[in-house]
Amino acid sequence: MKRIFDPIHHFIELSPSEARLLDLPVMQRLRRLRQLGLAYLAFPAAEHSRFTHALGTLAMGTRAFDELVRTGPEYFANSADVDYQRRLVRAALLLHDIGHGPFSHACEAVLGVRHEARTSELLRLPEMRSGLAALDVDPAEVLGLIAGDTASRYPALRELVSGPNLDADRMDYLQRDAYFTGVASGRYDAEQLVASLRLFERAGRVVMGIDARGVVALESFVMARYMMFASVYFHHTTRIFERVLQDVLRELWPDPRSLDPIEEFVRWDDFRVLNDLADQQSEAARALRERIVVYAVAAEFNAERDLRKYEACERALSARFGARNVWADEQSQVLHRLPLGIDRTHTVWVGSGTELVDAREVSDLIAKLTGKAYWRKLFVRRDAVDVAEARRICTEIVNLST
């Protein structure tokens, strides 16, 4: 048994086969991928990696799985079934981020390939198949859990690995990101939330939800997601440099298809991108290398239900300063971090007596934080625009329509 100490979950234990999986180059590469991309330019201590997050996800997911077994043994065929599912879910949790590229979503936007597709390729590598064979789990079932395959024969495990709400991925990164950014409002009652997890049968399928006594813990979880999105994931400085980074990556990768071979893709990480910037003389490369803030925020529209004010401001800024000097940012790629999705198709089921109830029906707080909402920012180029005037234009439009 291998024990690794983590500042969030303390000692995390791995079996010898899991430890060997952890030592594979594909997993070690995660040490060189920051969990929060360029957020360290706004929150200097946010240097933690996807490697530590993978370990944390393993820890949270294992605690959650063990709780589901303890409170719902009738949903498992026998002890052998429990043992297999535990090995399977731990493998999927450990490997869930292996397909990410440098700076994650910025990389995907440039290369046009989602990390789930890379994960599928990586799991077909001989060393990965050998590592999973040592764990005695099916690679196809591991991929099904990571990719959220609705045909998976373990729907509850799929929710735990890649579900829209109660997945171990979120359970760890909220705690980890809050810890390393210092954002206290991102913390939630993890102990109580895990202790409240339950398996239920709904419409002939096994689903994961919470016991009614865990509603307050669920509220703290939902609120933490909301606050971290507003404070960290959609922070204006991070967004500015992610925009600049995409220009840099297009310079480094003039032919995005050159990274299609998986062997070439895994040779890239955050460190290599930053090292290669030393020879680039473009405005974008210099801005990222020297932390030069190219854009300024003209207006923010957070959790808006109506886009008319935003659209009016964008039109006014473009007319006054030229469209090329205005950037309308709508960060759709991180909206999955918002509470219970951005529409009403995803929820958390709450066991109340003999009934299953939508969490939004038992919590006014959750109901108010969910549903369709728009998050937008309007930026202008500092070198071409009078920032004070841009902000005044937007303020007048917003006040006029209020």
Q: Who wins on pLDDT, 352 or 282? A: 282
pTM over 0.75: yes
For residue 184, what pLDDT band results from cuts at 50, 70 and 90?
Answer: very high
Q: pLDDT tens across 58-70, in order?
A: 999 999 999 999 9
pLDDT, average across residues 247-273? 96
Is the pLDDT at 206 greater than 70? The verdict is yes
Contact 97, 115 (CB under 8 A): yes
Q: What is the pLDDT of residue 147?
A: 94
The answer to whether the Cα torsion of 211, 213, 219, 221 is positive or negative is: negative
Beta bridge partners of 357: 350
Q: pLDDT tens across 272-312, in order?
A: 999 999 888 999 999 999 999 999 999 999 888 889 999 99
pLDDT, average across residues 335-364? 75
Is the pLDDT at 18 greater than 80? The verdict is yes
Q: pLDDT tens across 81-140, in order?
A: 999 999 999 999 999 999 999 998 889 989 999 998 999 999 999 999 999 999 999 999
Q: pLDDT tens across 140-160, in order?
A: 999 999 999 989 999 999 999
Contact 277, 291 (CB under 8 A): no
Q: What is the pLDDT of residue 342?
A: 43
Contact 66, 82 (CB under 8 A): no
Q: How far apart are CA 165 and CA 148, in angstroms?
A: 12
Contact 303, 375 (CB under 8 A): yes
22 burial via Cβ count (<10 Å: 0-12, 13-18, 19+) = buried
162 burial via Cβ count (<10 Å: 0-12, 13-18, 19+) = buried
Domain ranges of the chain: 2-182
Is the pLDDT at 333 greater than 60? The verdict is no
Q: How far apart are CA 123 and CA 21, in angstroms?
A: 12
Helices assigned H by DSSP within 72-211: 79-95, 105-111, 115-123, 126-135, 139-147, 155-162, 168-181, 190-196
3-state secondary structure of 356: strand
Question: By C-alpha distance, which of 77, 101, 212 is closest to 153?
Answer: 77
Domain 2-182 class?
Answer: mainly alpha
Question: By C-alpha distance, which of 131, 103, 128 is closest to 115?
Answer: 103
pLDDT, average across residues 251-273? 96
Amino acid occupying residue 185: S
Q: How far apart are CA 197 and CA 210, in angstroms?
A: 4
The answer to whether the Cα torsion of 301, 304, 309, 310 is positive or negative is: positive
